[in-house]
Amino acid sequence: MTDSAEIVEGLPTARSCPFSPPDALGELREERPITRMSYADGTLGWLITDHALARELLTHPDFSSRHELRSSPVPMAIKPMPAPPGMFIGMDPPQHTRYRKPLNRHFTVRRVRQLEPAIERIVTQHIDAMERHGPPADLVSAFALPIPVQVISELLGADPGISEEISRLRAVTLDPATPPEEAGAAVRATNEVMADLVRGKRRSPSGDLLSVLIADGDMTDQELTGLAFLMFIAGHETTANMFSLGTYLALRDERARASLTGGGVLTDEAVNEFLRYLSIVQFTSRAALADVEFGGVLVRKGETVTLSISAANRDGRRFPQPDTFDVDGGENGHLAFGHGIHQCIGHNLARAELRIGLPELFRRLPGLRLADESRDVATRVGHNTYGVLELPVAW
């Protein structure tokens, strides 16, 4: 029987530093690396803040990724429901394998290397536009968001204009204050936008990823719609927030800025350190499929276990200087892209965008600075994906 005083009331989200996890998570990691936690729907489950336990959870066969089995650690406008066809992130094998396997060859290191000239072109276009407009500018809307949106749009063969509608609908869906009926309508509208894209590609195919998947003939339009939606959202949300929060960090931390101004593209070590240190994806969850002895506790069948990726990526038992940005800290081993069969399929693409985009921004705009040093930069808390809402800059 767990003492009620030891139950964490919801996932801690309050931060004392915009670049560090909530202090409460660090305290829990040292005292109770797996602890009882109450969820937004009133159920009880568990919270992991330890790196080793997090890796173990992500590969454990008795824990499921199915959306409908998991409770959310933060309030959500929509009740968890089964993942629609194609949305494999919320599925287990063999369904997960069926959808993911055809995509693997499109996101290899070799394939992403072929995309690098297009990424360089897109980055240049948006920095050119910033220079034409002149300072000040909001880095989120001028650089951080449109670059990954255009990259994934070109990969899918979608008009980047779709992104504005998807982004608007996505904001409605993610806002916990949205009434359930409005959130449901936004989900249906989003699905219809992506369904139109699939129907258009079936009528007029080209050489893009979506057209290739249609030509393979292994998926229905409904499945392709879910797959396209997943790739579109996953292909830009996290990278956009990494661009903006990474820039903000470089404007505040000399080590981070130095890693971007040494000339050329960003090193792999520096990319990994930005990913570890900032941990844009805050958490992920799994549901127990059976009673499981795990981390010294008994997790009952049906209970949700949430792992704090941001806390695990600052675990001093895994990283020598966990709270210091250090590109010379040796092999990184961060969990920013997850681990195991659900590791982010687009991690090579995201790395390439960061490796090219961040140093080019500082090369072209060497005097980059916050437009108003006295103004607090608002951050996005209470969401799975962390970042800044806007970042006014000058140069």
How does pLDDT run across 322-361, given as a tens digit for each residue? 999 998 876 789 999 999 999 999 999 999 999 999 999 9
Residue 200's domain comprises 4-394
Question: What is the per-residue pLDDT for 5?
Answer: 58
- Span 376-391, average pLDDT: 90
| Contact status, residue 86 vs residue 219, Cβ threshold 8 Å | yes
Counting the structural domains of the chain, the total is: 1
Tokens encoding 51: 């790196």
Identify the residue whose tokens are 């063969």: 157
Longest dimension (CA), the chain: 64
Angle between helices 146-156 and 109-133 (to 10 degrees): 130
Evaluate if residue 176 carries a pLDDT over 70: no
Mean predicted lDDT score pLDDT of the chain: 92
Alpha helices, H only, the chain: 23-31, 51-59, 95-104, 109-133, 139, 146-156, 162-174, 180-203, 209-216, 221-234, 237-252, 254-260, 268-278, 309-312, 347-364
- Return the percentage of the chain with pLDDT > 70, whole number: 96
- Structure confidence at residue 217 (pLDDT): 87
Per-residue CA distances from 255 to 251, 293, 294, 363 (Å): 10, 42, 38, 16
* Mean pLDDT within 8-15: 94
- Range from 55-59, 113-117, 132-136, 158-162 carrying the lowest mean pLDDT: 158-162
- Return all residues near 277 (Cβ < 8 A) that are at least 6 apart: 19, 249, 256, 313, 325
Q: Which of 36-50, 176-190, 314-328 has the lowest mean pLDDT?
A: 176-190
Supply the pTM of this predicted model: 0.93
Grade residue 182 by pLDDT with cuts at 50, 70 and 90: confident
CATH of the domain at 369: 1.10.630.10
Q: What is the rounded average pLDDT of the residues 164-183?
A: 75
